[in-house]
Amino acid sequence: MQANRTMNSDRTQIPARAPARAPGFVRMPDGLVQWLLRHGAPLGPNGLLTIRGRTTGQLRTAPIAITEVDGRRYVIGAYGDVNWTRNLRAAGEADVQLHGRLEHVRATELDPAAAEEFFGVTLRAYVARFPWLGRAFARVLFGIVGPEVLDDPKKAAASRPVFELTSAEDPVR
Protein backbone atom coordinates (compact mmCIF):
# COMPACT_ATOMS: atom_id res chain seq x y z
CA MET A 1 0.00 0.00 0.00
CA GLN A 2 1.49 3.31 -1.02
CA ALA A 3 1.52 6.20 1.46
CA ASN A 4 -0.28 9.40 0.61
CA ARG A 5 2.21 11.78 -0.95
CA THR A 6 2.21 15.39 -2.02
CA MET A 7 4.62 17.42 -4.14
CA ASN A 8 6.61 20.24 -2.67
CA SER A 9 7.80 23.28 -4.64
CA ASP A 10 10.88 21.55 -6.13
CA ARG A 11 8.70 18.65 -7.44
CA THR A 12 10.03 16.06 -4.97
CA GLN A 13 7.53 13.91 -3.15
CA ILE A 14 7.10 14.31 0.57
CA PRO A 15 4.77 12.31 2.81
CA ALA A 16 1.39 13.99 3.30
CA ARG A 17 0.47 14.78 6.89
CA ALA A 18 -1.96 12.23 8.26
CA PRO A 19 -5.34 13.60 9.29
CA ALA A 20 -5.77 14.24 12.99
CA ARG A 21 -7.46 11.46 14.88
CA ALA A 22 -8.40 10.66 18.41
CA PRO A 23 -5.91 8.53 20.35
CA GLY A 24 -6.46 4.77 20.32
CA PHE A 25 -7.58 4.65 23.96
CA VAL A 26 -10.43 6.98 22.98
CA ARG A 27 -11.37 5.24 19.70
CA MET A 28 -11.24 1.70 21.10
CA PRO A 29 -14.43 1.88 23.23
CA ASP A 30 -16.29 4.01 20.64
CA GLY A 31 -18.74 1.25 19.71
CA LEU A 32 -19.62 0.56 23.35
CA VAL A 33 -19.98 4.27 24.14
CA GLN A 34 -22.24 4.78 21.12
CA TRP A 35 -24.38 1.80 22.17
CA LEU A 36 -24.69 3.11 25.74
CA LEU A 37 -25.60 6.61 24.55
CA ARG A 38 -28.15 5.28 22.02
CA HIS A 39 -29.82 3.38 24.83
CA GLY A 40 -30.03 6.41 27.13
CA ALA A 41 -27.17 5.69 29.53
CA PRO A 42 -26.45 8.82 31.58
CA LEU A 43 -22.91 9.73 30.56
CA GLY A 44 -22.84 13.35 31.68
CA PRO A 45 -22.56 15.87 28.85
CA ASN A 46 -21.88 13.16 26.28
CA GLY A 47 -24.16 12.52 23.35
CA LEU A 48 -24.16 11.35 19.77
CA LEU A 49 -23.64 13.58 16.74
CA THR A 50 -24.99 12.20 13.45
CA ILE A 51 -23.90 14.05 10.36
CA ARG A 52 -23.75 13.51 6.63
CA GLY A 53 -20.25 12.69 5.39
CA ARG A 54 -18.72 15.41 3.26
CA THR A 55 -17.45 13.05 0.55
CA THR A 56 -19.66 9.95 0.75
CA GLY A 57 -22.93 11.55 1.78
CA GLN A 58 -23.46 8.67 4.22
CA LEU A 59 -24.62 9.36 7.75
CA ARG A 60 -21.78 9.17 10.29
CA THR A 61 -22.18 9.07 14.06
CA ALA A 62 -19.60 10.07 16.65
CA PRO A 63 -19.78 10.40 20.42
CA ILE A 64 -19.19 14.01 21.48
CA ALA A 65 -19.28 16.06 24.66
CA ILE A 66 -21.54 19.09 24.65
CA THR A 67 -20.45 22.05 26.72
CA GLU A 68 -23.47 24.06 27.83
CA VAL A 69 -22.85 27.50 29.31
CA ASP A 70 -25.51 30.17 29.91
CA GLY A 71 -27.98 28.39 27.63
CA ARG A 72 -25.50 28.13 24.73
CA ARG A 73 -24.17 24.78 23.55
CA TYR A 74 -20.74 24.06 22.09
CA VAL A 75 -18.82 21.07 20.79
CA ILE A 76 -15.03 21.02 20.67
CA GLY A 77 -12.82 19.08 18.28
CA ALA A 78 -10.74 18.05 21.29
CA TYR A 79 -8.43 15.93 19.12
CA GLY A 80 -8.00 18.56 16.42
CA ASP A 81 -9.61 18.81 13.02
CA VAL A 82 -10.82 15.21 12.82
CA ASN A 83 -13.33 13.74 10.35
CA TRP A 84 -16.45 14.63 12.35
CA THR A 85 -15.32 18.29 12.62
CA ARG A 86 -14.65 18.48 8.89
CA ASN A 87 -18.04 16.87 8.18
CA LEU A 88 -19.81 19.28 10.55
CA ARG A 89 -18.08 22.27 8.96
CA ALA A 90 -19.15 21.11 5.50
CA ALA A 91 -22.74 20.25 6.42
CA GLY A 92 -23.45 23.04 8.89
CA GLU A 93 -26.13 20.90 10.54
CA ALA A 94 -26.48 17.59 12.33
CA ASP A 95 -28.67 15.53 14.63
CA VAL A 96 -27.71 15.38 18.29
CA GLN A 97 -28.97 12.71 20.66
CA LEU A 98 -28.48 13.75 24.27
CA HIS A 99 -30.14 12.20 27.34
CA GLY A 100 -32.52 10.22 25.13
CA ARG A 101 -33.68 13.30 23.19
CA LEU A 102 -33.02 13.77 19.47
CA GLU A 103 -32.65 17.28 18.09
CA HIS A 104 -31.71 18.66 14.70
CA VAL A 105 -29.16 21.48 15.14
CA ARG A 106 -27.29 24.08 13.14
CA ALA A 107 -23.57 24.31 13.76
CA THR A 108 -21.59 27.51 13.45
CA GLU A 109 -17.82 27.34 13.78
CA LEU A 110 -16.38 30.02 16.02
CA ASP A 111 -13.89 32.37 14.40
CA PRO A 112 -10.35 32.37 15.90
CA ALA A 113 -10.99 35.29 18.30
CA ALA A 114 -14.25 33.77 19.57
CA ALA A 115 -12.60 30.34 19.91
CA GLU A 116 -9.76 31.88 21.94
CA GLU A 117 -12.34 33.58 24.19
CA PHE A 118 -14.17 30.24 24.50
CA PHE A 119 -11.02 28.37 25.62
CA GLY A 120 -9.77 31.20 27.84
CA VAL A 121 -12.98 32.11 29.63
CA THR A 122 -16.04 29.97 28.81
CA LEU A 123 -14.47 26.51 29.02
CA ARG A 124 -12.46 27.37 32.13
CA ALA A 125 -15.61 28.61 33.90
CA TYR A 126 -17.48 25.48 32.75
CA VAL A 127 -14.81 23.11 34.11
CA ALA A 128 -14.53 25.15 37.35
CA ARG A 129 -18.18 24.30 38.12
CA PHE A 130 -17.43 20.56 38.15
CA PRO A 131 -17.04 18.77 41.47
CA TRP A 132 -13.37 18.17 42.36
CA LEU A 133 -13.34 14.72 40.73
CA GLY A 134 -14.70 16.13 37.46
CA ARG A 135 -12.10 18.91 37.49
CA ALA A 136 -9.35 16.36 38.14
CA PHE A 137 -10.63 14.16 35.28
CA ALA A 138 -10.71 17.14 32.89
CA ARG A 139 -7.17 18.11 33.90
CA VAL A 140 -5.88 14.55 33.33
CA LEU A 141 -7.76 14.06 30.04
CA PHE A 142 -6.68 17.37 28.55
CA GLY A 143 -3.19 16.86 29.95
CA ILE A 144 -2.94 13.71 27.82
CA VAL A 145 -4.65 14.86 24.62
CA GLY A 146 -3.95 18.58 24.59
CA PRO A 147 -2.75 20.57 27.61
CA GLU A 148 -3.24 23.81 25.67
CA VAL A 149 -7.03 23.32 25.90
CA LEU A 150 -6.94 24.49 29.51
CA ASP A 151 -3.57 26.30 29.59
CA ASP A 152 -3.04 28.16 26.29
CA PRO A 153 -6.28 29.51 24.76
CA LYS A 154 -4.56 30.98 21.69
CA LYS A 155 -2.86 27.68 20.80
CA ALA A 156 -6.05 25.70 21.55
CA ALA A 157 -8.10 27.99 19.29
CA ALA A 158 -5.57 27.53 16.47
CA SER A 159 -5.59 23.73 16.68
CA ARG A 160 -9.05 22.72 17.89
CA PRO A 161 -12.28 23.78 16.16
CA VAL A 162 -15.22 24.87 18.30
CA PHE A 163 -18.80 24.92 17.04
CA GLU A 164 -21.84 26.52 18.61
CA LEU A 165 -24.98 24.42 18.25
CA THR A 166 -28.39 26.03 17.94
CA SER A 167 -31.72 24.34 17.48
CA ALA A 168 -32.75 24.22 13.85
CA GLU A 169 -36.11 25.64 15.02
CA ASP A 170 -34.47 28.67 16.69
CA PRO A 171 -34.19 31.86 14.68
CA VAL A 172 -30.67 32.47 13.40
CA ARG A 173 -28.59 34.42 15.93
Read off the CATH number of the domain in which 91 is found. 2.30.110.10
The count of structural domains within the chain is 1
Tell me: pLDDT of 6 over 50. Answer: no
Q: Which helix (H) or strand (E) holds 158?
A: helix 153-159
Q: Is residue 4 part of a domain?
A: no
For the stretch 53-101, pLDDT in tens is 999 999 999 888 898 888 999 999 888 888 999 999 999 999 999 888 8
Q: How confident is the model at residue 15 (pLDDT cuts 50, 70, 90)?
A: very low
Would residue 23 count as lying in a domain?
A: yes
Is pLDDT of 115 > 50? yes
- Asked whether residue 148 is domain-assigned, the answer is yes
Per DSSP, the chain holds a count of helices (H) and strands (E) of 8, 8
The pLDDT-based confidence of 170 (bands split at 50, 70, 90) is low
Determine the 3-state secondary structure of 95 from DSSP.
strand
Question: Is 31 within a domain?
Answer: yes
Question: What's the whole-number average pLDDT of the chain?
Answer: 79
Find the domain containing 67 and state its range. 18-164
What number is the average pLDDT over the span 122-151? 81
139 part of a folded domain: yes
User: What percent of the chain has pLDDT above 90?
Assistant: 33
| Cα Rg of the chain (Å, integer) | 17
Please give the distance of CA 102 from its chain centroid, rounded to a whole number.
18
Cβ–Cβ under 8 Å, residues 163 and 109: yes
Say yes or no to pLDDT of 153 above 70.
Answer: yes
- In this prediction, residue 141 carries a pLDDT of 76
In a domain, 172, yes or no: no
- pLDDT band at 33, cuts 50/70/90? low
Decide if 132 is inside a domain. yes
pLDDT at 172: 54
